[in-house]
């Protein structure tokens, strides 16, 4: 009888466990693994990252391979012709590094050769005059003048040189083969090209991405032999394979032939910078992100500092109160980046003051529980529209080393320019610098003194790769997102979902997102947000408007040593790839 009872208990317990699993509490299932993991916006690139890990490479080797691979698989955002920010965590040393490889304005650039501005008295303008035709700013959206000096190759190769394990040739071999052999054109890639007429306007881009004057067809093969050759030169010669020699000469020749502003001097002098990440403590967790010229990092940490004054766990993750407080905190975060954030090599950014307790308390005091704030109630620290087409990937290896990397071309396919004979699509990041002067409190970031144009300067960016360490100082979350000014809000929603509401990484990722900037009055919200919440926010005076999806977070959540990877469903073809053995 005792044996029967024991058997019944075992069977009953087993049935409970089985039932609790197969009930599937959430439709958003992360990939679960115990070893290396790569989460990126394209499954082919994620797989290459795992291939590098399986060869014995570490997270940094994999990150370099993924970064170059996305130039093939996600050409509208993955790049050699852009720039970005990377966080690197070395487990054995328990150290975190921030690599700033943001693009830089050409040393030869000035208001006269960018906008054809000249004064009657021969004086050179420092900012564009008040009566300037702002339609001329369009010159910085497309074509050769729109591009800043690219930093991606320097940033990825410095990461490899400082922290990688494999030879560069081993890391780049599968990427070169991918570019040479080609990839199958997905529906998303086909539609992205179709939606970007600037590609047709550039002869070299048209040659690569069109066939018989029509967008390359879905399921056809896109081969990029010129890009494969460029990658081969980098593989053999390192940074000199891009910033000197054949590739640099081709870029400068194309610039000279098309009114561009870059010179060989720009390439010879460009270097990525190793900077200190910025951080804050949130509910006992340490959150690290990119510092200036990242304004997104300032925005995110400011919002976290503000939310730490409110007990969010008292509310549901999808309550009106949560979205109200979230929006007000986010708005003040954007206020903090609007005036004093820029390239730290050119401007003394007061990071400590922006993130101080005094500044946070000042911002918190202007928040009301039941009413939206007015822009005028939020003052910039005493004293443009941004593209969504960026990409992010997160990587961890079996040893616990990790990378969080966000980089961009600016707009989708950047400036639309492909440098002949190289396969390199160029960025349009000159439009991220500010060219006017005025009152930031009234006119917003468009007149930011911290981000005001100067030759050789890195534009402010909202890119904000993130790593979170728990109360025991263990790495617990790697994340980041594309999305322009929507980036901080997308990341903030994931962080608060995991930390405040104890959600799985899948559930936290798929929470409806909102965006509230400054000094603008409205809340943008995703269509999945409940109509009852929208009505409640309107009653508070938030002036809501429905928008597109916001961001595409690629995340790895580590819980009790187990890795849970989740690729945001907001953009197609994103994927988690995981090692099955060590």
Tell whether the model's pLDDT for residue 332 goes beyond 80: yes
What pLDDT is recorded for position 124? 73
What is the average pLDDT score of the chain? 92
Q: Are 429 and 147 in contact (CB under 8 A)?
A: yes
Q: Average pLDDT in the 165-176 region?
A: 98
The Cα-based distances of 405 to 136, 242, 293, 342 in angstroms read: 33, 21, 15, 20
For helices 59-73 and 152-163, give the axis angle rounded to 10 degrees: 160
Residues in the chain: 582
Contact 317, 503 (CB under 8 A): yes
Is residue 390 annotated as part of the catalytic site, yes or no?
yes
For 483, the token pair is 């999305």
Measured CA to CA, the distance from residue 298 to residue 287 in angstroms comes to: 12
**Mean predicted confidence (pLDDT) in 34-62:** 98
Three-state SS for 340-405 is: CCCCCCCCCCCHHHHCCHHHHHHHHHCCECCECCCHHHCCCCCCCCCCCCEEEEEEECCCCCEEEE
Closest CA to 541 of 373, 403, 383: 373
Strand pairing partners for 346? none
Does 246 score more than 50 pLDDT?
yes
| Rounded Cα gap, residues 155 and 163, in angstroms | 12
Closest CA to 422 of 246, 552, 575: 246
Taking 90 as the threshold, does the pLDDT of residue 139 lie above it? no
- The pLDDT-based confidence of 20 (bands split at 50, 70, 90) is low
Torsion over CA: 308, 314, 317, 323 (sign):
negative
- Quick one: average pLDDT of 35-41? 98
pLDDT in tens, 404-448: 999 999 999 999 999 999 999 999 999 999 999 888 877 888 889
Percent pLDDT > 90 in the chain is 84
Question: Domain-by-domain residue ranges, the chain?
Answer: 37-274+399-408+422-432, 277-375+461-569
Q: Which fold has domain 277-375+461-569?
A: Serum Albumin; Chain A, Domain 1 (1.10.246)
Res 444: pLDDT: 81
**CA–CA gap between residue 69 and residue 202 (Å, rounded):** 23
Q: Is the pLDDT of residue 506 over 60?
A: yes
CB contact at 8 A, 114 and 136: no
CA 98 to chain centre: 14
CA distance 495 to 484: 18
Write the pLDDT tens digit of every residue in 522-571. 899 999 999 999 999 999 999 999 999 999 999 999 999 999 999 999 99
**How sure is the predictor about 11, in pLDDT bands with cuts at 50, 70 and 90?**
very low
Copy the structure tokens of residue 551.
Answer: 């961001």
Place 4 in a pLDDT band, splitting at 50, 70 and 90.
very low
The one catalytic residue among 152, 230, 390, 553: 390
What does the pLDDT average to over 294-310?
Answer: 98
Q: What is the pLDDT of residues 370-411, one digit of tens each?
A: 888 776 665 555 444 455 579 999 999 999 999 999 999 999
Structure letter (DSSP) for residue 309: T
Distance of alpha carbon 551 from alpha carbon 347, whole angstroms? 29
- Give the global pTM: 0.94
The average pLDDT across 488-515 equals: 97
| Mean pLDDT along residues 194-221 | 96
CA distance 37 to 566: 10
Residue-level pLDDT at 225: 98
Residue 84 has pLDDT above 60, yes or no: yes
In whole angstroms, give the CA distance from residue 370 to residue 376: 18
Are the C-beta atoms of residues 267 and 251 closer than 8 Å to each other? yes
Sequence-distant (6+) residues with CB within 8 A of 31 are 37, 564, 565, 566, 576, 578
Residue 117 has what pLDDT? 82
Mean pLDDT throughout 362-377?
83
- Contact at 8 Å (CB) between 247 and 230? yes
Q: In the structure, what pLDDT confidence band is assigned to residue 296 with cuts at 50, 70 and 90? A: very high
Q: What percent of the chain has pLDDT over 70?
A: 93
């Amino acid at each position: 009888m005792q044996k029967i009872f024991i058997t019944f208990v075992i069977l009953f317990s087993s049935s409970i466990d089985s039932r609790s699993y197969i009930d599937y509490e959430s439709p958003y299932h992360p990939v679960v693994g115990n070893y290396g993991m790569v989460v990126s916006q394209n499954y082919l690139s994620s797989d290459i990252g795992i291939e590098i890990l399986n060869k014995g490479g570490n997270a940094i080797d994999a990150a370099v391979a993924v970064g170059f691979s996305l130039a093939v698989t996600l050409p509208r955002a993955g790049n050699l012709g852009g720039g970005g920010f990377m966080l690197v965590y070395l487990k054995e040393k328990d150290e975190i590094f921030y690599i700033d490889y943001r693009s830089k304005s050409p040393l030869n650039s000035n208001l006269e050769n960018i906008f054809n501005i000249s004064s009657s008295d021969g004086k050179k303008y420092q900012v564009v005059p008040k009566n300037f035709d702002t339609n001329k700013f369009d010159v910085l959206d497309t074509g050769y003048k729109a591009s800043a000096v690219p930093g991606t190759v320097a940033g990825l190769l410095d990461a490899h040189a400082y922290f990688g394990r494999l030879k560069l040739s081993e890391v780049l071999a599968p990427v070169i083969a991918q570019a040479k052999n080609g990839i199958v054109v997905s529906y998303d890639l086909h539609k992205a090209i179709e939606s970007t007429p600037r590609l047709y306007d550039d002869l070299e881009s048209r040659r690569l991405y069109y066939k018989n004057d029509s967008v390359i067809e879905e399921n056809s093969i896109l081969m990029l032999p010129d890009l494969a050759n460029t990658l081969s030169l980098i593989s053999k010669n390192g940074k000199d394979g891009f910033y000197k020699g054949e590739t640099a000469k081709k870029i400068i020749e194309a610039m000279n032939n098309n009114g561009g502003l870059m010179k060989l001097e720009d390439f010879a002098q460009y270097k990525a910078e190793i900077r200190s990440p910025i951080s804050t403590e949130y509910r006992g967790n340490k959150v690290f992100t990119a510092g200036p010229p990242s304004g997104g990092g300032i925005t995110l940490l400011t919002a976290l500092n503000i939310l730490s004054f409110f007990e969010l766990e008292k509310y549901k993750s999808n309550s009106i109160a949560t979205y109200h407080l979230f929006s007000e905190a986010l708005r003040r975060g954007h206020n903090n980046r609007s005036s004093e954030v820029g390239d730290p090599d050119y401007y003394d950014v007061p990071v400590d003051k922006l993130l101080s307790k005094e500044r946070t308390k000042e911002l918190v005091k202007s928040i009301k529980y039941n009413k939206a704030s007015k822009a005028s109630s939020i003052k910039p620290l005493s004293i443009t529209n941004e593209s969504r087409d960026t990409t992010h990937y997160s990587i961890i290896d079996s040893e616990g080393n990790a990378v969080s990397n966000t980089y961009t071309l600016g707009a989708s396919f950047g400036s639309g320019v492909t440098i002949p004979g190289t396969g390199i699509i160029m960025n349009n990041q000159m439009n991220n610098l500010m060219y006017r002067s005025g009152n930031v409190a009234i006119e917003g970031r468009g007149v930011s003194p911290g981000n005001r144009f100067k030759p050789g300067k890195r534009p402010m960016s909202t890119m904000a790769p993130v790593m979170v360490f728990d109360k025991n100082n263990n790495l617990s979350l790697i994340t980041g997102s594309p999305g322009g000014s929507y980036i901080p809000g997308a990341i903030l929603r994931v962080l608060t979902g995991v930390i405040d509401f104890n959600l799985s990484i899948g559930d936290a990722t798929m929470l409806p997102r909102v965006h509230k900037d400054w000094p603008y009055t409205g809340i943008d919200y995703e269509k999945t947000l409940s109509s009852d919440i929208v009505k409640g926010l309107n009653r508070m005076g938030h002036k809501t408007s429905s928008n597109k999806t916001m961001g595409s977070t690629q995340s790895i959540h580590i819980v009790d040593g187990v890795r849970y990877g989740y690729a945001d469903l907001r953009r197609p073809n994103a994927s988690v790839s995981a090692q099955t053995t060590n």
